[in-house]
Amino acid sequence: MAVSGVLRPGHAQIRVMDLDAGVHHYRDVLGLEEMGRDASGRVFLRAWDERDHHSVILRQDDNAGIDFFGFKVLDEATLDRLEADLQAYGVKTSRIPAGELMETGERVRFEIPSGHQIELYAHKTFMGGTLGQHDPSPYNAKMDKGIAPMRLDHCLLYGPNVGEVLELFTKVLGFHLAEYVTLPDSDEKGALWLSCSNKAHDIAFVIHPEPNKLHHVSFYMESWERVLRAADIMAANDVPVDIGPTRHGITRGGTIYAWDPSGNRFETFSGGNISYPDQEPIGWSWEGLGEGGGLDVAHRKMHETFLSVVT
């Protein structure tokens, strides 16, 4: 099949330090729809153009950050095959029973060399889009509730061993490298934009001494104009903004980085390159990331927070 194996980012479980504030942020300000809560109090949400049951799970905890990032795979056979491939590669995996996440099948969990927990799963209840699956309407009010991203798009994770992460994602999980940044005066790749699709990226990594850190979870906006509307809504709701609106040179996407009430960074992202596995990845030098506009086309500088503020 042309698209098979790992399909897409399916969910991110985000730790928030005040659940009510977190729900207010992700549901009322970002505009995700609350799909349910489980016995442990976790809140499940999804964006208006998603098809499966949920994509964001909020869990209250004393520390902000990301518990795990999960990818939907094509089917159960793919899940079994990828689990076997991971084990053969030397990655320890575990199975989390179906139903541990609402409306979600069994998940294969493993830790990657950057210290993050990644999951694969083959089943989550298909709800259909909010516009409908048969003669869909062109509009409903959910498209304008809050910032109203279309979908969970990707995450950027910080941790060590980025070279090993690259090997794992490309050799075992079938991702391709779309863009990368080399470290100063080095050929070593210090940042990766990895895609399992034609998107500019489905997951990205930046080298960092401390493992298992979250830089941001990203949500897809339909246009650059909707990114500005996101800024307006952030302002109306006192959401602190880190960077943007601007364009990332890397991915060419429009962006705002901002923080949820617990200090987790999130992104409202638009546009972005199309990528294919047969194409040479786009390479950025360390200067290109900063002064070359890789991070911020308008300002062409390394923002201090980009490298230092993570959860």
Active site residue 267: yes
Q: Verify binding: residue 249, its own copies, rule CB under 8 A.
A: yes
Asked if omega into 245 is within 30° of 0 (cis), the reply is yes
Count of positions on this chain that bind its own copies (CB under 8 A) = 78
- What residues between 131 and 150 interact with its own copies by CB under 8 A? 133-140, 144, 150
The nearest distance, CB 281 to its own copies, in angstroms, is 8
Span of 38-46, 60-68, 174-182, 206-214 interacting with its own copies by CB under 8 A: 174-182
Three-state SS for 92?
coil
- What residues between 101 and 130 interact with its own copies by CB under 8 A? 126, 128-129
Binding mask 260-299 for its own copies (x = CB under 8 A): -----------x-xx-xxxxx-xxxx-xx---xxx--xxx
Q: Verify binding: residue 75, its own copies, rule CB under 8 A.
A: yes
Considering the candidates 25, 201, 208, 215, report the single residue annotated as catalytic: 201
Q: Verify binding: residue 7, its own copies, rule CB under 8 A.
A: yes
Kindly tell me which of 15 and 189 has the beta carbon lying closer to its own copies: 189
Kindly tell me which of 92 and 134 has the beta carbon lying closer to its own copies: 134
The nearest distance, CB 154 to its own copies, in angstroms, is 13
Beta bridge partners of 255: 246, 269
DSSP string, 251-282: TTEEEEEEE-TTS-EEEEEEE-----TTSPPE
Closest C-alpha to 122, from 76, 182, 83, 86: 76
CB crowding 39-57: b at 16 or more within 10 Å, else e: eeebbbbbbbbbebbbbbb
| Inter-residue contact 200 to 273 (CB < 8 Å) | yes
- The amino acid sitting at 232 is D
| Alpha-carbon gap, residue 68 to 14, rounded angstroms | 8
The nearest distance, CB 75 to its own copies, in angstroms, is 7
Q: Verify binding: residue 28, its own copies, rule CB under 8 A.
A: no
Active site residue 201: yes
Active site residue 257: yes
Closest C-alpha to 258, from 208, 217, 206: 217
Q: Residues with catalytic annotation?
A: 154, 201, 216, 248, 257, 267
